[in-house]
Structure 1
Amino acid sequence: MKFVTYDGGKTGLIKGDGVVDISSHCTGSGQAAMESLISNYESLKGDLEKLAKDGDATPLSSLKLDAPLPRPGKILAMGGNFLENGAKKPAPMWGFTKSLDAVLAPGGTVVLPDIDANIFHHEAELVLVFGKNGENIKSAEAMDYVFGYTCGLDVSARIFTDTPAPARVPNTLPISSAKSYNGFAPMGPCIVTKDEITNPQNLHVELRVDGELRGDYNTNDMGNTIEESIEYVSAIESVSPGVVFYLGTNHQGLGAMQDGDNIEITIEQVGSFSFNVSDPLKRKWAKGVDQETAKAVREGTSGPGRSVRPL
C-alpha cells in the first residue's frame, strides 16, 4: 500500500490516481497520524485493504501533498555508501543526521541560504522508514524493523575553508549543518510499504533538472547493504516508527542547484515528485553534471564540490 499526508495533515491511501481519506483510522494529524498508522498497521491492515478496494477516492491532482512524514523523530543518513558504478571498494561506514526543520513537501521551494558555498548539490536517495522501536539491531533481523520507503533529496551545501576539517569520530552520527538548512530534506510523494518493493537493493533512481537527466543509478551500487546500514546506525541511535533513514547516493550524477530550477526525483516502484529552487543571490554555476566532483569522488582524490566555485 501507499500512504500520503495531504491538505494540511490528513492521512490518505493511494488508490489508482486518487486518494482515500483514512484520517479516521489514525490518531492526530500530520506526523502524529502517520506514526500512529505505522505503529498500528498490522491491526489496521484488513480495514485498509477494504478501503483500497471500495473506498471513495479524491483525484490526486486536486490535493496538496505534504511530506509523508512532515517532522520525523529523527533524520538519519549514510555517507559515502556507494561504489560509484563499481569504481570504489566498500569503505568503513559513517553517517550523520539532518535537522528536522530541513523537511520539504513535494512542490515546495528550497531557498538557497546566503552562505559562501562552493556549490549546492542535489543528492537523490532512497529513504527508508522505520516501523517499530529498536536499537542494536542485527543485520539478520534488520528488515523486520522496516515499514516502507519513500523518495528523498539530501541537499548539500559544499563549504570549504583553509582550516582542515576535523577527523570523523567513529560510531557517531553528528548533525551536518551544511545539509540541515530549511528545505534541505525534500521527501515524497508517499510511503510505499515494504511488501510492494520487489528488492530495495535493486531499484533504479533518476533525477532530472528542468527535464535534463542527471542522477541515473541503481541501488545495487551500495557499498554496504541496507541490512548492514541499519545495524550500523541502530548501534548509535535508537529508531522508532516514522524515523527516516537516507541510504546514500551515487555521486556520478550530482550537479548544481540554482535559481529557477525544477528538480524531479523518480525511484522505481516508489514514485516521483518535484520541487523548485530559489536563490535570492542569483548565483550561477555550470549546468549539467558536475564532472569534477564525479571524477574526484570516483577516484577518491577529494570530497564533492571542493574545486567548484560560482561562475
Structure 2
Amino acid sequence: MYNDNQPGILTDAGVIDIGDLCPDGGQAAIVHLIANYDDLKSQLESRAAEGTPVADAQLQAPLPRPNKILCMGGNYREFGAREPSPMWGFTKRHHSIMGPGGNVVLPDVDANIFHHEAELVLVFGRGGKDIPASEAMDYVFGYTAGVDVSARMPAGGGGRGRAQHAAHLGAQIAPHLLSPCVDGELRVNYNTDDLAHSIAESIEYVAAIEEISPGDVLFMGTNHQGLGAMQDGDTIAVGVEGVGSFNLTVSDPLKRRWPKGVDETTARDIRESAGGPGRQARPLPAE
C-alpha cells in the first residue's frame, strides 16, 4: 500500500499501481487481492516494470486494518535455553497498526520499560476454523516484518507483564532471519529455526480459538535475548531476510529514560523462566 492507501507492487524499478485490479482501496483492496490472487496473478506479472520511484511514494502498512491481529507469546526457545512451553497468545486491536516511518508515542502508563519485539508476521490467504497443522501452510499467503511494541507492567499488574500498545508492519508481503537495530546498534540476530512451536503448529493453535479470514495476520513471537528499551528520540530499524526492512521512530511526552543497549535483566529472566517477561527495574530519571 502506498500514498492514499492504494495497492501496488513494490519492485526495484519502483511502485507499480494495481488499483484497477482491486475494488475500493485500503484494507478492502488488499483482501480482494489476497482472496483472488490465483486469478489475478497473470495480470500482476504482466504489468510494466516501470512505476513511481520508491523515493516519491509514501509506503504504508500492506494491511492497514486487519480484521484480526493474532499474536503468539513465549514462542521462541531463546537460542535453545528453554524447552517449548505450552502455547499461549493474545490479540491486538486492529486500529493499532502503523506502517513504515510511523512514530509510536509511548503512553502515560506505569510501565517498567517499553520493549521493541521484532517478529515474523504471516498473512493468511484463506479463511477457516479448526485448521490442522498438516494443512496449515496452505492457508498462508505470505510474510511481512513486524514490531510488537510492549509495555512491561509491574509485578501483580495482571497478565504476563504486558500491556497492549502498537503493532507495526513493514511495507511489503513476501513469500527468516530477523535483525532489529536501534539508532544503528544491532540488538539481536535470530532465526525462525529457534521457534518453540512451528508456523503450522501455531496456525493450528490460533485457528482452534479464532475463525481465520483472508488478510488476518499472525505475529509469530520474538526471541527476547536482544530486547532493549524504546525511548524518546530512538529510530528503530527492523529487517526480515527475504521480506525487507522498515524504520519507525519513538517519542515519549514524559521523556522517561532507560539504559541504552540490550536489556540483559529481561534476557536472563526469560532464559531462566517458563513464564512471560516481568521486569522489575524502574525507569531512570528524566533528562
- Counterpart CA distance in 1 for 2:133 and 2:109 is 40
Q: Tell me, what secondary structure is at the counterpart of 2:65?
A: coil
Q: Which residue of 2 aligns with 1:199?
A: none
Q: Among 255, 263, 267, which residue is 1:294 paired with? A: 267
Q: Which residue of 69, 75, 86 maps to 2:63?
A: 69
| Distance in structure 1 (CA, Å) of the matches to 2:32 and 2:169 | 19
Q: Which amino acid aligns with 1:84?
A: E
1:128-139 equivalent positions in 2, closer than 5 A: 128-139=122-133
Measure how far apart 1:302 and its partner are. 6.1
Counterpart pick for 1:57 among 51, 67, 80: 51
Contact 1:292/1:307 (8 A) holds in 2: no
Q: Secondary structure at the match of 1:309?
A: coil
* Residue equivalent to 1:102: 96
| Mapped contact 1:204–1:267 kept (Cα < 8 A) | yes
After superposition, give the CA deviation of every residue in 1:78-132 in whole Å (9 maximum; x if it has no partner). 0000000000001110010001121111101000001110000000000000001
Asked if 1:158 is matched to 2:152, the reply is: yes
1:23 aligns with 2:19: yes
1:266 to partner: Cα distance:
0.4
2:31 to 32, 35, 50: 35
* Residues 130-185 of structure 1 deviation map (CA, whole Å, 9 limit, x = unaligned): 0011110001100100000000001001112446x36x9xxxxxxx9812x3xx10
Structure 1 residue 79 corresponds to structure 2 residue 61: no
Q: Supply the distance in 2 between the matched residues of 1:154 and 1:68 (Cα, whole angstroms).
A: 16
SS in structure 2 of the partner of residue 61 of structure 1:
helix
After superposition, the C-alpha distances for 1:204-225 in whole angstroms (9 at most, x for unaligned) are: 1100000000031111100000
Deviations 1:28-73 (A, max 9, x none): 101110000001100000011111xx24311111111111100000
The residue identity in structure 2 corresponding to 1:186 is H
Partner AA of 2:167 in structure 1: A
* Aligned-partner Cα distance in 2 for 1:62–1:308: 43
Distance of aligned partners of 1:112 and 1:14 in 2 relative to their CA distance in 1, 3 Å threshold: same
The CA RMSD measured in Å over matched residues stands at 1.5
> Matches of 1:37 and 1:145 in 2, distance apart?
15
Q: Is the 8 A contact 2:85 2:274 kept in 1?
A: no
What is the percent sequence identity of the aligned residues?
A: 56
- Aligned partner of 1:306: which letter? R
Mapped partners of 2:229, 2:156: distance in 1: 23
Q: Label 1:277 to 1:250 Cα distance change in 2 as closer, same or farther (>3 A).
A: same
Query: What stretches of structure 1 of length at least 5 have no aligned partner?
Result: 169-175, 195-202
The aligned counterpart of 1:173 is none
Determine the C-alpha separation between the residues in 1 that align with 2:274 and 2:82. 12
| Residues 303, 39 of structure 1: alpha-carbon distance in 2 compared, 3 angstrom cutoff | closer
- Report the secondary structure of 1:32's partner residue: helix
- Aligned residue in 1 for 2:217: 244
Q: Verify the 8 A CA contact 1:7 1:63 in the aligned structure 2.
A: yes
1:264/1:275 contact within 8 Å kept? yes
Q: Is the 8 A contact 2:74 2:276 kept in 1?
A: no
1:8-36 CA-partner distances (Å, limit 9, x unpaired): 11100122141100010001101110000
Q: Distance in 2 between matches of 1:111 and 1:86?
A: 34
Q: Is the 8 A contact 1:119 1:305 kept in 2?
A: no
Number of matched residues?
284
Pair 66,255 (structure 1): closer, same or farther in 2 beyond 3 Å = same
SS in 1 for 2:43: helix
TM-score, with length taken from structure 2: 0.96
- The answer to whether the 8 Å contact 2:152/2:162 transfers is no
The answer for the alignment partner of 2:255 in structure 1 is 282
Confirm or deny: 8 A CA contact 2:3 2:57 kept in the other structure: yes
2:43 maps to which of 44, 47, 65:
47
For the residue of structure 1 that corresponds to 2:28, the secondary structure is: helix
Structure 2: gaps of 5 or more residues: none
Q: How does 1:106-255 map to 2 (within 5 A)?
A: 106-162=100-156, 165=158, 178-179=163-164, 181=165, 184-192=166-174, 194=175, 203-255=176-228
Shift of 1:306: 1.7
Deviation at 1:303, TM superposition (A): 3.9
For residue 262 of structure 2, what is the amino acid of its counterpart? V
